[in-house]
C-alpha cells in the first residue's frame, strides 16, 4: 500500500512541477500503451482514496474492539463502599479503604460484605454468585470464611477482617482479567501475511521492468520509468482497503440484527481455528434460577396439599430455594395464609397453615421408604432435597435444582456439527454438573466441576498447552478471566458487563444456540474477507505482467481498482442473507433477576 500510494504521489509531483500537468488547459488522455506524454498525468486521487479506505477500516476496527478498562472499574466498584465497624462497643461507619486486618464489622441482611473475612458471630445464607457463578447461597456460621462484595441474604453477621486492599478476592479477580487480556497475543493479520510475499515480489518486478526497458529493450528513460511505476500503481489494489471493513460492517451489522456482537476481524480468525468449546454451567447451559423438579409424598398425604402448604410457609422466606417452592406452589392457585412463622437458621422455616403445623427444611429425623429414595436421588443428581413435615410427620420431599435451558441440548448438538468438542466447566459439585451434562448431551468425561475462578483460567491454559484452540462461553464475573484467556470468548448478554468486556463476541440473549450462530456467522464473514482479499489482489496482479512489458497505461489501474472495489462491496453484501439456525431475532437482554419472583420479607 505504501509503495503504490507513494509511487502515485511522487509521480504526480513530478508531473505537476517538472512535467506539463500543471500547465493551464492541460488535460489527460487515456492511452492503452505508454507514451512519453504519460509523464504529464497525475494520480493524486489514487493515493487519497486508498489511504482513506484504510484509515476507515482501522477506525472501525478500533471502535469495535471497545475498552476493557471501564469494565475493570465496574468490577472493582461492585464492592461495598463502607462498613459498620465495631469500635469501643459502638458501630462506626468507615470507608472500606480504612479497614484494617483484625477489625470487626457488622453485616445486616441485604448488605454486601465489605471485605474478605471470617464470621465471628451469627449465621446466614450468603449469595456468592458473583464469585462462583452458582445460584444457591452458601450457609455460613461462626468460623466460616466470607468474601468481600458477596451478598448477605438473611441473618446478621459479625465479620473479622482477614484481607484488605489488593489482597482481597475481588482485587485478585480484577488482576486475573487484566493479566489474561495482556497475555492474549494479537492474531497476525491476513493482509500482512500476504504482503510479506506480495510486496517484495512487486518491488523486484518493478526494478526488473525499469532495467529491462533501459538496458535490454533500449527504450527511453521516460518509457521505462512509466512501465516501472505502472507496475507499482497496478499492484496497489484499491479494493484492499475495502476488503475487511465492508465485510466486517455487513457481517457485524447482520450479527447485531440477530443479537450477536462481534468485536473485530481478529475474532473472526479465532472462530475458524477453535476446536474445543468450554461452557460455564449456571446461567449459560442452565437457567440460573432454582426450580422444583420433583415432589415425593409419604403414604396418606396428597401431593398438591403437601406442595401448597410448603409453598405457603416458604412464601415469607428470602432464600432462593424457598422462592422456587413458593413459585411452584402458587402457579395454579392462591396460597393460604400463614401464622406463627419462624425462620431457624440452618434448619428451615415453620408456620401454621389451615390449622396444621408445617416445617420445611432439613430432615429432623430418619427418612424411610420412598422419601429416603427421593432424598438420595436428588443429592445424586446435584439437586437440593427439602423435607416437608406436617404436624410432626415427614410428609414429603421436594427436589429443587437449577435445570438446563430447553434450548441447550440443541445448542450442544449444533456445536458438535461445527466440529467443536463441548466441555462443561463449573464451580458446582460434580453430581450437579454431570446431571446437566447428561441432559444436554455433553460427554461426562468432558465435565470439570468444583473449580474457582482462578482454576477456570488454569483449565483454559492447560487445554491450550495441549494444543487445543479453546472457545469459552460464560456470563458471570467469575468467568471474565477465563473468557479473556480463551482463544475465543463468548459472553451472554444477560451476564455481567465485566464478562462482556472480557469477551470477543457478545450474545445479546440467554439462548446458547446463539453461540452456534455467532461462530457460523463469524466463519462465513472470515470466508468473505478472504475472498475479498483474493479478488482485491487478483484483478491487479493479472495486469502486472501486462504493465511490466510496457503494454499498459498507468491510468488503466484506476479502472481495475474501481471494478475490483465494486466486486468486493457486492460480495460483502451477500452476508445480509445469513439466517439464524433457529430463526432468532435480536431480543432485549434479560436477567435472571427479572425472571425471579420477588419474595415478601418475613
What pLDDT was estimated at residue 362? Answer: 82
What pLDDT was estimated at residue 272? Answer: 84
What pLDDT was estimated at residue 602? Answer: 30
Query: Which residues are designated catalytic?
Result: 280
State the pTM of this model. 0.64
Q: What residue segments make up the domains of the chain, in order of their start?
A: 1-23+35-68+181-243+524-577, 100-163, 247-286+405-522, 288-404
Calpha distance 161→114 (Å, rounded): 9
Calpha distance 16→117 (Å, rounded): 77
For residues 461, 467, 468, 469, the Cα torsion angle rounded to the nearest 10 degrees is 80
What pLDDT was estimated at residue 173? Answer: 64
What pLDDT was estimated at residue 446? Answer: 93
Tell me the CATH number for domain 100-163.
2.70.150.10
Topology at the third CATH level for domain 288-404? Calcium-transporting ATPase, cytoplasmic domain N (3.40.1110)
List helix spans (H) across 476-555. Answer: 480-485, 497-502, 513-548
Domain 247-286+405-522 has CATH 3.40.50.1000: yes
Beta strands in 141-265 (DSSP E): 145-146, 151-152, 157-161, 260-262
Nearest to 69 by CA among 369, 437, 434, 502: 502
What pLDDT was estimated at residue 588? Answer: 39
What pLDDT was estimated at residue 103? Answer: 92
> What is the b/e burial string over 61-85, where b = at least 16 CB atoms within 10 angstroms of the residue's CB?
beebebebeebbeebeebbbeebbb
Nearest to 200 by CA among 472, 332, 3, 28: 3
Distances in Å between the alpha carbon of 127 and those of 72, 189, 318, 600? 21, 44, 11, 18
What pLDDT was estimated at residue 181? Answer: 44
Nearest to 480 by CA among 130, 112, 167, 61: 130
Distances in Å between the alpha carbon of 164 and those of 101, 116, 150, 170, 240? 7, 7, 15, 10, 53
Please give, one letter per residue, the 3-state secondary structure of 352-376: EECCEEEEEECCCCCCCHHHHHHHH
Calpha distance 145→140 (Å, rounded): 8
Question: Could you report the average pLDDT of every consecutive run of 10 residues in the chain (602 residues)?
Answer: 72 79 70 56 69 65 45 62 88 90 92 92 82 67 88 88 85 61 44 72 88 83 73 70 76 77 74 90 83 90 92 83 88 86 78 91 82 88 87 90 88 93 86 87 91 84 93 80 88 62 75 90 87 78 80 63 75 87 51 34 31
3-state secondary structure of 119: strand
What pLDDT was estimated at residue 380? Answer: 80
What pLDDT was estimated at residue 420? Answer: 94
Size (the chain), residues: 602
Calpha distance 21→433 (Å, rounded): 76
What pLDDT was estimated at residue 178? Answer: 58
Amino acid at each position: 500500500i505504501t509503495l503504490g500510494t507513494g509511487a502515485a504521489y511522487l509521480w504526480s509531483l513530478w508531473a505537476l512541477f517538472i512535467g506539463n500537468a500543471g500547465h493551464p488547459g492541460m488535460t489527460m488522455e487515456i492511452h492503452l500503451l505508454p507514451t512519453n506524454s504519460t509523464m504529464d498525468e497525475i494520480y493524486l486521487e489514487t493515493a487519497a482514496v486508498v489511504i482513506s479506505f484504510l484509515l476507515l477500516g482501522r477506525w472501525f476496527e478500533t471502535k469495535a474492539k471497545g475498552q476493557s478498562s471501564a469494565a475493570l472499574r465496574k468490577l472493582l466498584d461492585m464492592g461495598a463502599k463502607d462498613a459498620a465497624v465495631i469500635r469501643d462497643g459502638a458501630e462506626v461507619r468507615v470507608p472500606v479503604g480504612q479497614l484494617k486486618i483484625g477489625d470487626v464489622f457488622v453485616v445486616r441482611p441485604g448488605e454486601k460484605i465489605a471485605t474478605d473475612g471470617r464470621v465471628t458471630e451469627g449465621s446466614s445464607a450468603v449469595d456468592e454468585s458473583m464469585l462462583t457463578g452458582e445460584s444457591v447461597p452458601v450457609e455460613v456460621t461462626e468460623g466460616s470464611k466470607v468474601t468481600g462484595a458477596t451478598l448477605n441474604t438473611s441473618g446478621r453477621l459479625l465479620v473479622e477482617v482477614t484481607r484488605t486492599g489488593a489482597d482481597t478476592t475481588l482485587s485478585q479477580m480484577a488482576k486475573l482479567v487484566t493479566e489474561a487480556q495482556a497475555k492474549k497475543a494479537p492474531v497476525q493479520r491476513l493482509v500482512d501475511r500476504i504482503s510479506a510475499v506480495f510486496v517484495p515480489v512487486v518491488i523486484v518486478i518493478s526494478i526488473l521492468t525499469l532495467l529491462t526497458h533501459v538496458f535490454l529493450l533500449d527504450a527511453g528513460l521516460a518509457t521505462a520509468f512509466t512501465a516501472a511505476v505502472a507496475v507499482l500503481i497496478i499492484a496497489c489494489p484499491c479494493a484492499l482497503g475495502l476488503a475487511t471493513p465492508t465485510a466486517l460492517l455487513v457481517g457485524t451489522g447482520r450479527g447485531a440484527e440477530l443479537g450477536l456482537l462481534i468485536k473485530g476481524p481478529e475474532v473472526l480468525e479465532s472462530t475458524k481455528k477453535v476446536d474445543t468449546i468450554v461452557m460455564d454451567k449456571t446461567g449459560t447451559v442452565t437457567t440460573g434460577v432454582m426450580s422444583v423438579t420433583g415432589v415425593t409424598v409419604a403414604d396418606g398425604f396428597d401431593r398438591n396439599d403437601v406442595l401448597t402448604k410448603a409453598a405457603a410457609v416458604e412464601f415469607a422466606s428470602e432464600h432462593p430455594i424457598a422462592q422456587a417452592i413458593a413459585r411452584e406452589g402458587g402457579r395454579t392457585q392462591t396460597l393460604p395464609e400463614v401464622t406463627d412463622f419462624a425462620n431457624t437458621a440452618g434448619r428451615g422455616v415453620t408456620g401454621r397453615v389451615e390449622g396444621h403445623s408445617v416445617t420445611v427444611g432439613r430432615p429432623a429425623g430418619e427418612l424411610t421408604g420412598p422419601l429416603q429414595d427421593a432424598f438420595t436421588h436428588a443429592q445424586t443428581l446435584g439437586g437440593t432435597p427439602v423435607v416437608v413435615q406436617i404436624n410432626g410427620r415427614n410428609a414429603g420431599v421436594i427436589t429443587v435444582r437449577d435445570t438446563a435451558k430447553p434450548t441447550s441440548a440443541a445448542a450442544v448438538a449444533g456445536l458438535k456439527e461445527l466440529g467443536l468438542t463441548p466441555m462443561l466447566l463449573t464451580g458446582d459439585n460434580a453430581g450437579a454438573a454431570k446431571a446437566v451434562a447428561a441432559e444436554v448431551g455433553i460427554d461426562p468425561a468432558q465435565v470439570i466441576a468444583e473449580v474457582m475462578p482462578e482454576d477456570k483460567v488454569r483449565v483454559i491454559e492447560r487445554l491450550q498447552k495441549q494444543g487445543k484452540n479453546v472457545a469459552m462461553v460464560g456470563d458471570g464475573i467469575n468467568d471474565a478471566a477465563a473468557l479473556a484467556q480463551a482463544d475465543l470468548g463468548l459472553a451472554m448478554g444477560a451476564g455481567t458487563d465485566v464478562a462482556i468486556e472480557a469477551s470477543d463476541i457478545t450474545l445479546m440473549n440467554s439462548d446458547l444456540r446463539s453461540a452456534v450462530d455467532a461462530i457460523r456467522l463469524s466463519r462465513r464473514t472470515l470466508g468473505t474477507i478472504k475472498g475479498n482479499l483474493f479478488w482485491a489482489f487478483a484483478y491487479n496482479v493479472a495486469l502486472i505482467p501486462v504493465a511490466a512489458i510496457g503494454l499498459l497505461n498507468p491510468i488503466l489501474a484506476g479502472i481495475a481498482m474501481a471494478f475490483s472495489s465494486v466486486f468486493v462491496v457486492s460480495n460483502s453484501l451477500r452476508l445480509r442473507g445469513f439466517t439464524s439456525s433457529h430463526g432468532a431475532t435480536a431480543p432485549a437482554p434479560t436477567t435472571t433477576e427479572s425472571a425471579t419472583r420477588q419474595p415478601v420479607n418475613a
